[in-house]
Structure 1
Amino acid sequence: MSGFWQSLHFLRPEWLWALLLAPAVMAWLQLRQRRRDPWRHLVDPHLLPHLLEGGTRRARVSGWLPALGIVLAVLALAGPSWRQESQPAWQSKSPLVVVLDLSSRILATDLPPSRLLQARSKLATLLAEREGGEVALVVFADDAYTVTPLTSDAANVALFLDELGPEIMPVDGQRPERGIELAASLLRQAGATRGDILLLGDRAGTEAQAVAAHARSLGYRVSALGLGTAQGAAVRERDGSVGQARLDARSLQALAGSGGGRYVQLGAGTADLQALDLLRPALVGSQQGEGEASKRWRDEGFWLLPPLMLLSLLAFRRRAGLAMVALACLLPLSLPVQAAEGGWWQRDDQRQHRQLSEGVSAYRRGDFATAQRQFEGIDTAEGWYNLGNALARQGRYDDAIDAYDRALEHQPGMDDAVANRAAVDAARKRQQQSSQGQPPQPGSGKGKGAGNDPARQQPSPQGQTGGDPQAGKPGQQSPPSPPQAEDATAQQQADQAQREQMEQAMQQSRASTPSQAQANETAEQRERRQATEAWIRRVPDEPGSLLKAKFRIEHERRSREGR
């Protein structure tokens, strides 16, 4: 018992000042009761207790009960605590977005054999040596484009390194500020409050320095890794002219200073990456080791709520307390179905949000039938959009298109719904052509970005997104995103399609020995399988070609929109 009193304390002790209200309220109620009693003005005070039956006792009780209620409420608000509980440690690591210059200056040979090959090698080392944390890759010339969005799989980023070059960029130029803007947009879209942006290039102007300062204000550190030498080397521009590409270390130092980061010139080994402090990303949140858990004091103020609620029954009229207790006992029996489905106290939008969360979890596990059941009945744009995704993954293209149409009725111009509807419609047409004996045409029916057959393009459910706690709530629309954020959203779907295509191509190349199912198939099934394999082999599987096509489509879209 002595241990209990030694550990007892209050988590919010400032609320204890409110205890001073208890005697004041008690005195005010007693004074009010005396003024309302008419006999006190007609009978002498020494005779009044003998004439009024129980009047003084009831007045005294009526003053003590509110004061007791105030004491219980204040103690509950003060947060009494006498024991601790474990709390899991937060081990999220700071993400990194690499911004690479792919202008024609990257082909300069002052870093033999060329700046481009040195940059590829340095990025491969960074991806191999970095100890966790999400990584994204952005390239820029006259404009910036996303090669891979933020991902914890570094091998997925390394897949595209050998395909990077100035030839995949739609327009030549050198605008590093566009790359930094897109990198900050990717971090903000992922809900990261802290992160690193690494610029690989040979110079940065005042506009890039201003953008780096803005990224720093958002919590993102901007560092620079210099490519080239002060002497430079001749380089041929895309228009055929010859120029001199030199490393402007002073401008990159100013960029790192504005972005709160560091500047290092590219060198051999990992010394430059260690100087930039990028190989061991900082923990966001808890600084404890992996597997450890923190201790926190548990708020036990809820134990004072039952006596406070029972005491509040005395504030009702005579015999009303019994009626309130009976109503509280019968209320759960009147709503058994709603209570079984998540609680009768929840609002409709809260139940819809719970359904969206469970549906998204099932979708990400690959259980599309369960996801469909969860999304059904949610009459919002997000609900219909997610239902369309689940139906498309099951091959029910007609039903998926109807669901996308319903989503567009609720939110006209919903970009994701428009893009996925176009991709599903194209897949339905190819399926109809295949059933009629016509060979499907690869690359037909592309939707937004590089939207392909939904059997390869996995739509992203909208029930939960990144770290934004407001994303995907039923009946609530997110605020308009800035242009670069919309660009990143548009490119994420194309990135997913690229990964799906590459995985299918690699799986196809590894399938050299016939499986047991192939050995038992009929001649008709074999013919159909061989036709399908021949069609799949027509799909281009070079990442460089895919990137070039994606960037060109994105450049044309931005040109039409006047960006």
Structure 2
Amino acid sequence: MNEELLALGQFHFLRPWWLLLLIVVAWLPWAVRQQGDVRRRWRGTIAPHLLDALVVGGRTHRAVRPVHLVTLFLALASIALAGPTWERERPPFLADKAPLAIAIDLTPTMNAIDVTPTRLERAKLKVKALLSHRDGGRTALYAYAGSTHLVLPLTDDAALLQTFVDALETRIMPVPGKNTVQAVRMIDAAMAREPIPGTILLLTDGLEPGAADALRRRDQRTQVVALAIGTQAGGPLKDGGGVAPGLDAAAWHDANVPGTTVTPDSDDDVAWVQRHIQSHVEQASATDTLRWHDAGWPLTIPIALLALLWFRKGWSIRWIAGLVLAIAVAAPQRELLAQSTNPVRPWRFVDLWLTHDQQGRRAFEQGDFARAATLFDDPMWRGVAYYRAGSFAEAAHAFESITTPEAQFNLGNARAQQQKYREAAARYQFALQQRPGWQPAQRNLARMEALLKQQQQKQQGEEEPPDLKPDQVQIDPDKPPPPPADGDKMQQGLVKQNADMWMRAMQTSPTELLARKFALQQAKP
């Protein structure tokens, strides 16, 4: 009942000026009836007692006449064109595009067997179920205990994510203890660069003392939710090394973090996480940026059915099509101009036959890129036209409104043409995050990094490196090559040793690779 009252309070028309057509709807039946009244036209010329005898068929009327259907047609058209609405239109696939960072607790207590088979193994199963529900959504994977480590950055490769999830074990963490606050801060800093508000999912068996206060004071742009694994009674560890404490549900409430417990026999907990991801994105999106849902489109079905009757003999009204066309041409298309990011331009006769994008495409194919940029409504095409015309600043402004990897790649090209190499490199990196392994973006990123390095060397006044290859190397065929020096032998030994290490590393399991990676990350100052 409250939702119905709220919808009624938000009811309005997107284009209310079309309701003026209802004046014509009210006037039309009266005008047609007056025009067809033969008695009224001859009343002042012929005597009334003679007029009744002279008028033939004037007293018979059909219940439904063409004017009645035209009136209904215009009334429905007026309401449909006015755009009735009462709710906001949510962007499609918004929840699927929202980034998700999964942080798995790898403290020893996750080996408790109060949840079968263990708390950690149950967490892995829930991640698998969640990835199947994500349907290609970008997901990152972190592991934390006393330290926090990135396992995989944001990716839509569910198989790769599941491979590394299965490789996680508590023994690979280099620092003992539990530091949830550090994990949330590290992930929050990475998620802050995303254009869409994301969510951090903590798969853990509890909070450490003092973490609730720090989590309660954090920035709320990135949502934190918890999927608690364990029982209130706790349980023994798998290796028999002790007993894990039970869950403390009040800790999550004190930290202002929504949480739920794992449901072993169903995926209700996974559905709960998905609902929180979607609701957070919808709440974080500014209300004024969401379009109102135009509910006038369903009225086109009865309008089309009424239009079919125009082809019946005796029901055709020849002037109605011209009237509707004249109103449609003369009416200001304010809603379309409001949705367009292109500057408002005056109406032209060609607008009756071609859309702005079609006109821009014709100019683009003719090589008139500057004119095409002023015609396009689509920001992607407008940016490409500006780029072809050499207006790189305008092209970058057009590409900035789009977050697709293609648009970010083109934005990087525009910034590179402006010699803003650092910003261009950042755009190529963002495109590679969305489409890993994209060769054009990788090549351009390498060029930007080389140019940035040249700029840095130029600023520092460094000379040309001495290890550049000479233009030509000549070797005397009659003279044997000199034996390698002791330094060269040592270098060759190091190269062979590193190669052997990499070959041995390739034969290790993903768990061992992660253990070495985390140890190296922790050893860095």
Class of the TM-score when normalised by the shorter of the 2 chains: 0.3 to 0.5
Between Structure 1 and Structure 2, whose CA radius of gyration is higher? 2
TM norm structure 2: 0.48
Give the TM-score of the pair, scaled to structure 1.
0.45
